[in-house]
Chains A and B, each alone.
Chain A
Amino acid sequence: MIRIENLHKSYTTGVNKLHVIKGIDLRIEAGELVSIMGSSGSGKSTLLNIVGILDNYDQGSYHLDNMLITEMSEKKAALLRNKYIGFVFQSFNLISFKNAMENVALPLYYQNVSRKKRNIAAMEFLDRMGLKDWANHLPNELSGGQKQRIAIARSMITKPKIILADEPTGALDTATSYDVMKLFKEINDLGITVIIVTHEKDISEMTNKIIRLKDGLIESVNGTKILVEDHVNEMSNV
C-alpha cells in the first residue's frame, strides 16, 4: 500500500536549513495497523504529512497504492487525499460553525454527493460511533472524546484505503484514549490501513507494528534495531 524509498525532506527557516527526514525506507502493506513513534523533532509528523500528501518531499520516492506520488498540482493532491486518505488530528480540526453531522458529511461534499445522501451517510457513521443523538450539536458543545470520534467518522465517510492519525489521543484522557484506540482497531478490522503517530508507549503497543524514528531515520521496527548501512535490506524483510 505504501512504499517509501530513501526519502529526504528539509525545511528552510530563514538562513537555516533543517534536515528533518534523512533517508527513510518504509513499506506498509494494506490492512496493517501501524504506529510511528519518536520524540519531538524526530520527523514523525513530517513523515505522516508526506504520506498524507499534505506536504511534498525533496528526494527519494513515495508510492501510494502503486502510484508514484511526486510534485503534483494542488487539485490532484486534493483529489487523491479525498479518495484514498482519511485524516484524524490531535486538535480534532472540526469546522466550528458546522454541527457534528455536517462536519462528518463535508468530505462527501467534495465528491459532489448530494446534500441529502451525504447527510444520510453521515448519520450512519455517527450512529456507528454512538453519537447519533449529538448530530445537531456544534463541536464546542461536545467533549474531546466525542469530537475525536466525530473526526474519525469524518475520516471514514469517504471509505478511504488509509487512515492517518496524528497524535489522535494527545488531547484525551487515558480512558477515552483507549476507547479511541479500540475504534481504530475496529476500523483496521474492516481492512483499512491505519497509521498512528504517537509518543505514548501504551498507545503504540496496541498496534501491530511499531516504527521508531530518531533524528530523521528509522531506529527500530517492532524493537529490532536497524543500522543505517543495512537499512534497505532489513526493511525489505519486515
Chain B
Amino acid sequence: MFDQDKWQEILSTIKKNKLRSFLTGFSVAWGIFMLIILLGSGKGLQNGVETEFKQDAINSIWIYPGQTSIPYKGYSLGRQIKMTNNDYDEVNKNVKDLEYISARFNASWSGSISYKNEYGSFDIISCNPGCQQIENASIKEGRFINQPDIEKFRKVAIIGLKVVDALFKDSVNPIGKYLKVNGIPFEVVGVFSDPNERDMNRIYVPVSTAQKVFNGGNTIHNLSFTTTGTPEESKKLVEYLRNDFAKRHNFDPTDMQALYINNTLERYEQFQNMFKGIRIFVWIIGIGTIIAGIVGVSNIMMIVVKERTKEIGIRKAIGASPGSIISLILLESVLITSFAGYVGLVLGVGLLQLLSKAMENVPFIKDPQADFSVAIYATLLLIISGAIAGFVPANRAARIKPIIALRDE
C-alpha cells in the first residue's frame, strides 16, 4: 500500500487538477461541516434546557390551594381552600416513595432585611429542611434548616450568596451574625448557593417560626415534595393526592381549580420527549446531508473517471495494468475525501467552539458540542461511498480496451 512513487504520482495528479480535486473535496467537507453544526446545535439546545431544569429538583410535585369552582356537598363555589400543617403530616405519612418534603408559609411582609446599617429587599422563604433538595440549593457554609429548628421555633436564617454580598461588606463571615427581618432578629446559620442566579437573593427561615412570628397559625401556602417513583407512578400519585385532599377539604375531586398540582417530573418527561423529537429531526436532516454528500462525491467521481478516460487509455497503451489504474483513481479519491472530511471536521468543531463562547449567556443553549465519533463515522462513510462511487466507473474504464479509451475525445 505504501508505495512512495505511487503517492507521488497521485499527489502530482491532485496538484495539477486543483479544481477537480477541490470540487470532490468540497462536497465532503461541506457535508461533514453541516453535520457537525447540526449535531452540535441539537446538543447545545438539550444541554441548555437540562441546565434550566437542574435549577430545581426535576422529580418534585408542588401543591397549591385554589378556589372551588364546583358546588360540593352543600358548599357553594368560590370557597378558598386552606392548607394546614395537617396536610403536611398526612402527605409525609402516606406517600410511600417520598424523598424530601417541605411546606411554605408566605408571610405578608415587605421583605426588608438589614444588617447593621446595610439594608436590602430579599425574598423570604419559610420552609422545612427538605426545601434544600427541592430547591437544589447547596450549602457553602454552616448548615441548612434542621428538624430542631422547626420544633423549637428557632429564629435562624440561611442566606443566599447574593444576600451575603449585599449586606456583609469587608468579607465579614456572616455565620453567627444577627439579621433584622422586619425588625425581628434572626441568627444567620448558613450560606447557600443555587444553580438559579435569582434564587440566591433568597433567605430561608423555618416554616414554624414564620407561622408563629407572623401570626399564621397552622396555615401553609404550598406543599412540595420529591419522589423516587417513575413518571408513571408520579402520575398516579397526583391522582391519589387530588382525591385525598378533596376528601379532607371537602371539594369535588374533579374540580381542577380547587387545588393545583404541578408535577415537574411530568414536565421533564415532556421535555425529554421533545428532545427525542429534536434528535430524530436532527438525525433525519443529518442523514439527508450525508446522502447529499454521498451523491455529490459519487457524481464527481463518475465525471472524473469519464474525464480521465483518454488518460486511462494512454496509460494502458504504455503498459498500465487495470489494477494500477483502479488504485490510482481510488487512492486519489480516498486521499481527497479523507483530507476534506478532516477539514470539515475541524471547521465545524471550530465554529461550534466560537458559538459556544459567543452564546454563553443565551438561555436554553449551552455547550453546543457534536458527538465526535458520529462525525468520524460520517467521514468514513463518505470516504467509503466516494471510493465505491469511483470504483464502479474506474473498474469499467480500466477494463475497456485501450483502443476504445483512446478513441474517446
The chain A residues found within 8 Å of chain B, CB to CB, are 49, 52, 54-55, 74-75, 78-79, 81-83, 87, 89, 93-98, 102, 106-107, 109-112, 114-115, 154, 158
Does A55 lie within 8 Å of B317, measured CB to CB?
no
Does A55 lie within 8 Å of B314, measured CB to CB?
no
Alpha-carbon distance between A114 and B6 when the two chains are bound, in angstroms = 10
Smallest CB separation, B153 vs chain A (Å): 92
Alpha-carbon distance between A107 and B9 when the two chains are bound, in angstroms = 13
Can you name 8 A-B pairs with beta carbons within 8 Å?
A78-B322, A81-B318, A87-B318, A93-B310, A93-B313, A98-B16, A110-B320, A154-B318
Does B321 lie within 8 Å of A74, measured CB to CB?
yes
Task: Identify which of A52, A74, A81 contacts B399 (C-beta below 8 A).
Answer: A74
A residues less than 8 Å from B8 (CB atoms): 115
Task: Identify which of A87, A96, A98, A109 contacts B317 (C-beta below 8 A).
Answer: A87
- Residue from the set A82, A94, A112 with the largest chain B CB neighbour count within 10 Å: A82
The answer to whether the Cβ of B406 comes within 8 Å of any Cβ in the partner chain is yes
Smallest CB separation, A92 vs chain B (Å): 10
Does B322 lie within 8 Å of A75, measured CB to CB?
yes
What range describes how many residues of B lie at the interface? Answer: 20 to 34
Given contacts A97-B13, A97-B16, A109-B5, contact A79 B319 (CB under 8 A): yes
Task: Identify which of B5, B311, B401 contacts A114 (C-beta below 8 A).
Answer: B5
Does B401 lie within 8 Å of A158, measured CB to CB?
no
By beta carbon, the residue of chain A nearest B311 is: A95
Given contacts A74-B399, A93-B317, contact A115 B5 (CB under 8 A): yes
Alpha-carbon distance between A94 and B406 when the two chains are bound, in angstroms = 11
The answer to whether the Cβ of B402 comes within 8 Å of any Cβ in the partner chain is yes
Does B403 lie within 8 Å of A109, measured CB to CB?
no
B residues less than 8 Å from A49 (CB atoms): 403
Alpha-carbon distance between A43 and B182 when the two chains are bound, in angstroms = 115
Given contacts A93-B406, A109-B9, contact A81 B314 (CB under 8 A): no
A residues less than 8 Å from B318 (CB atoms): 81-82, 87, 106-107, 110, 154, 158
Residues of B386-409 at the interface with A, using a CB-CB cut-off of 8 Å, are 398-399, 401-403, 406
The 10 A-B residue pairs whose C-beta atoms are closest, nearest first, are A82-B319, A97-B16, A110-B319, A75-B321, A107-B318, A54-B403, A78-B321, A74-B322, A93-B314, A49-B403
Task: Identify which of B311, B319, B324, B401 contacts A55 (C-beta below 8 A).
Answer: B401
Task: Identify which of B16, B319, B322, B406 contacts A81 (C-beta below 8 A).
Answer: B319
Alpha-carbon distance between A109 and B316 when the two chains are bound, in angstroms = 12
Given contacts A55-B401, A93-B310, contact A111 B319 (CB under 8 A): yes
By beta carbon, the residue of chain A nearest B409 is: A91
Contact with A along B209-243 (1 / 0, CB 8 A): 00000000000000000000000000000000000
The answer to whether the Cβ of B323 comes within 8 Å of any Cβ in the partner chain is yes
A residues less than 8 Å from B402 (CB atoms): 54
Contact with A along B307-338 (1 / 0, CB 8 A): 00011011111111111100000000000000
A residues less than 8 Å from B94 (CB atoms): none
Alpha-carbon distance between A186 and B321 when the two chains are bound, in angstroms = 31
The answer to whether the Cβ of B117 comes within 8 Å of any Cβ in the partner chain is no
The answer to whether the Cβ of B17 comes within 8 Å of any Cβ in the partner chain is yes
Given contacts A154-B318, A158-B319, contact A54 B401 (CB under 8 A): yes
Smallest CB separation, B110 vs chain A (Å): 84
Alpha-carbon distance between A81 and B314 when the two chains are bound, in angstroms = 12
By beta carbon, the residue of chain A nearest B319 is: A82
B residues less than 8 Å from A96 (CB atoms): 311
A residues less than 8 Å from B321 (CB atoms): 74-75, 78-79, 110
Alpha-carbon distance between A83 and B324 when the two chains are bound, in angstroms = 16
A residues less than 8 Å from B401 (CB atoms): 54-55
B residues less than 8 Å from A55 (CB atoms): 401, 403
Smallest CB separation, A184 vs chain B (Å): 18
Smallest CB separation, B42 vs chain A (Å): 43
By beta carbon, the residue of chain A nearest B16 is: A97
Alpha-carbon distance between A15 and B306 when the two chains are bound, in angstroms = 27
